[in-house]
Structure 1
Amino acid sequence: TRDFFLLPADAKREADASRRAFAGDTASDHVASARAYEDWRTIRFTKGPDAARAFCRERFLSHDALERVAETRRQLRSLLETAGFVRRERSLRTSVSGKDALDVAVFRAVACAGLFPKIAAVSKRGRRGVLARTHEDGRVEFHPGSVNSNSVQFPFPWVAYGEKVKTQAVYLRDTTCVPACAVLLLGGELESPPKKNENTDAGKADEKKAVVSAGDEKDPSRFDSAGTPMNPTSGSSASNDSVGVLNGAYVFSAPTRTLDAIKRLRTVFDATLRLKAENPNLDVAVCCSALVSAVRALMEDEAKAAPKPLRAPEDWACPRGCGVVFASKKRCFRCGTAKPEEDARERDG
């Protein structure tokens, strides 16, 4: 189903600001889409189709595309219900929910699992924006249509993406910022990192491959710190260990006990998925509540320990969700919305 966000030529700023408002501070195009769909779905059910169409006009959404999404969703849910993987909805009323019901932490994990191995490492943070790197392409940029384009606020140093587009540069479309623990728990097979062998060209090639997506090109070792958010109590290097994914293309470093816990959780998680496949009626939330709680706690700990975005004390946040605006600017550079105190002065004047 095609993207249901519209970008009219005469209202690009407003349309872009609307999309960013749906995303909020999640750094996720997928969250923006999910929230837009749920808001439209709720309005259509509670207020009728005319109100839903008015909502689409106001928020620059395609009503017809949303209808197709709803139909596709019904078909997929029907298949899952028939197979016994989800319970049948008793009525539309019980299934309608607003954006506040979206569990963003779980959403990130699901996006990571569904999109893997399409991941990229955030490589440069600063007030001028963020770049990323993939092991296939090196430096990549966020597509101008992404909510992460020109963003300086990334809660985690990894993104999962839907597709790459190559024009003057390689762009990532449909991106979601994801925690390192989601990559390790729900991504590909965990591997021992490539061993350094300075005596052979092959060893040097392997070493270079392991840091090809380094966070800072001047300091390749920073790539290993992609696992740092899982290390709120930084210990000595002797107590740290590393694991790789995608044949060593990405290497994660964290305390040994943290990685051991992740490996154990992954073993239990994989076993639970096999049980669910064998017995679709198994209620994972009930029988495996401890596992779910452990995974959630791991993600929450990583979020708390993640580096805070660079932001000067005088900078301000756009009320429409576009992100941080420099203190010297009286209006948002993306949507033109006035700084709150400036807007108040204009109204009073």
Structure 2
Amino acid sequence: MLEAISALDAKENLTPLGFHLARLPMDPLTGKMILMGSIFSCLSPILTVAASLSFKEPFVIPLLTKVRASNVNVLQGKEKAVDECRLRWSEGTKSDHLMMVNIFDGWQSEGGVKAYQFTRENYLSGGILKQLRDMRVQFTKFLKDSQLISTSDPEHPDVNRNSDNITLVKAIIAAGLYPNVARIVKKYGGKRKGMMGKIMLSDMTRAVIHPKSVNEKERNYAHSWLVYWEKIKTSKVYLYDTTEISNYPLLLFSQKLEYDKDKSVIEVDDFIKIQCDGNIASVIKVRFGFN
């Protein structure tokens, strides 16, 4: 894993990235994400993503309640309402991670009684949200102590110049979660042309998105790639915490790029294949270098 995220070189020596990751008391993936967030000045949303992945999400499902249906008392849960809340707060981003950013920002913008009402209306734990807030501050202090940033305020403008750039924030999420990438295989014929057909992992295993994800029922993707936090195999291989991404983050944060002139395809780390004409490939070769 450390080699895959460029923290170790081929001789298992620490790279500059690995040196900084070793000084951060957190998972290497979230550590890399936070470092990239500080470099690209979109720290606040990335801190929220890293904190939620390191701890737990704030959603809580209320206890079952009795409702009257056809003159019979039945128990009804709130799972569907919570799922609808997740989807609403994702705001069309096709990202569980950005959904968490939106939820946290919405809660943080409130105060006092309104903050409590916000948690009640959105099935959230105020205690967990406060813990995420404290973790964000702690992560920021780690960065300042490492002299990577000059402030301990997660919301300081100097470290958030690009925090409203959703495309960039998604790219930084991809940088942190790479190589956890899945390919969206789209249908190429019939009435559902262009819609998602299946999801494949790098080892060609078929996977599905976990039901709690905002992407679980999504079928119309603009791009062909998802990054995910973890995969767990039960009856199927489930992907947890997913975000749709474009080709470009994969080109930026991969380890090995090769260009097949005959097929006009850039191959990324022996799994990801991106169609690309010769002119664009030449620009990428000059900028990043590949065989």
Alignment of 1:262-273 (within 5 A): 262-266=284-288
Alignment of 1:223-262 (within 5 A): 241-246=264-269, 248-262=270-284
Establish whether residue 113 from structure 1 lines up as the match of residue 135 from structure 2.
no
Shift of 1:149: 0.4
Amino acid in the other structure paired with 1:7: I
Establish whether residue 66 from structure 1 lines up as the match of residue 129 from structure 2.
yes
2: CA distance between counterparts of 1:52 and 1:93?
22
1:54-104 C-alpha deviation (Å, 9 max, x unpaired): 211111122111111111110110111222322326797979x9xx96321
Shift of 1:30: 0.4
Residues 6, 61 of structure 1: 8 Å contact kept:
yes
Q: Which residue of structure 2 lines up, in the alignment, with residue 131 of structure 1? A: 198
2: CA distance between counterparts of 1:180 and 1:108?
12
2: CA distance between counterparts of 1:113 and 1:101?
16
Alignment of 1:27-38 (within 5 A): 27-38=94-105
Shift of 1:53: 2.1
Establish whether residue 4 from structure 1 lines up as the match of residue 58 from structure 2.
yes
Give 2:164's match in structure 1, choosing from 68, 84, 102.
Answer: 102
Residues 156, 177 of structure 1: 8 Å contact kept:
yes
2: CA distance between counterparts of 1:78 and 1:90?
8
Runs of 4+ in 1 over 6 A off after TM superposition: 90-95
Residues 175, 253 of structure 2: 8 Å contact kept:
yes
Establish whether residue 167 from structure 1 lines up as the match of residue 230 from structure 2.
no
Residues 129, 150 of structure 1: 8 Å contact kept:
no
Residues 142, 171 of structure 1: 8 Å contact kept:
yes
Give 2:148's match in structure 1, choosing from 79, 85, 93.
Answer: 85
Residues 141, 152 of structure 2: 8 Å contact kept:
no
Establish whether residue 182 from structure 1 lines up as the match of residue 249 from structure 2.
yes
Residues 255 and 78 of structure 1, relative CA distance in 2, 3 Å threshold: same
Aligned residue for 1:14, secondary structure, equals helix
Aligned residue for 2:99, secondary structure, equals helix
Shift of 1:117: 0.5
Q: Which residue of structure 1 lines up, in the alignment, with residue 85 of structure 2? A: 18
Shift of 1:243: 2.3
Residues 169 and 245 of structure 1, relative CA distance in 2, 3 Å threshold: same
1:159-201 C-alpha deviation (Å, 9 max, x unpaired): 00001121211111100001111101122222356xxxxxxxx
1: CA distance between counterparts of 2:286 and 2:142?
32
Shift of 1:24: 1.7
1: CA distance between counterparts of 2:156 and 2:121?
24
Q: How many residues align?
A: 215
Q: Which residue of structure 1 lines up, in the alignment, with residue 20 of structure 2? A: none
Q: What is the Cα-based RMSD across aligned positions, in Å?
A: 2.7
Shift of 1:119: 0.2
Residues 209, 240 of structure 2: 8 Å contact kept:
yes
1: CA distance between counterparts of 2:116 and 2:186?
40
Establish whether residue 55 from structure 1 lines up as the match of residue 118 from structure 2.
yes
Amino acid in the other structure paired with 2:178: F
Residues 27, 147 of structure 1: 8 Å contact kept:
yes
1:266-305 C-alpha deviation (Å, 9 max, x unpaired): 36xxxxxxxxxxxxxxxxxxxxxxxxxxxxxxxxxxxxxx
Amino acid in the other structure paired with 2:177: L
1:90-143 C-alpha deviation (Å, 9 max, x unpaired): 797979x9xx96321011100111000000110135498652111225211111
Residues 261 and 151 of structure 1, relative CA distance in 2, 3 Å threshold: same
Structure 2: 5+ residue stretches without partners:
1-54, 65-76
Task: Report which of the two has the higher share of strand.
Answer: 2
Residues 191 and 91 of structure 1, relative CA distance in 2, 3 Å threshold: closer
Q: Which residue of structure 1 lines up, in the alignment, with residue 22 of structure 2? A: none
Structure 1: 5+ residue stretches without partners:
194-236, 268-349
Deviates more, 1:170-179 or 1:151-160: 151-160
Task: Report which of the two has the higher share of helix.
Answer: 1
2: CA distance between counterparts of 1:141 and 1:15?
20
Amino acid in the other structure paired with 1:264: V
1: CA distance between counterparts of 2:153 and 2:231?
40
Aligned residue for 2:57, secondary structure, equals coil
Residues 86, 99 of structure 2: 8 Å contact kept:
yes
Alignment of 1:217-228 (within 5 A): none
Residues 151 and 92 of structure 1, relative CA distance in 2, 3 Å threshold: closer
1: CA distance between counterparts of 2:220 and 2:175?
23
Residues 61, 79 of structure 2: 8 Å contact kept:
yes
Aligned residue for 2:109, secondary structure, equals helix
Amino acid in the other structure paired with 1:148: N
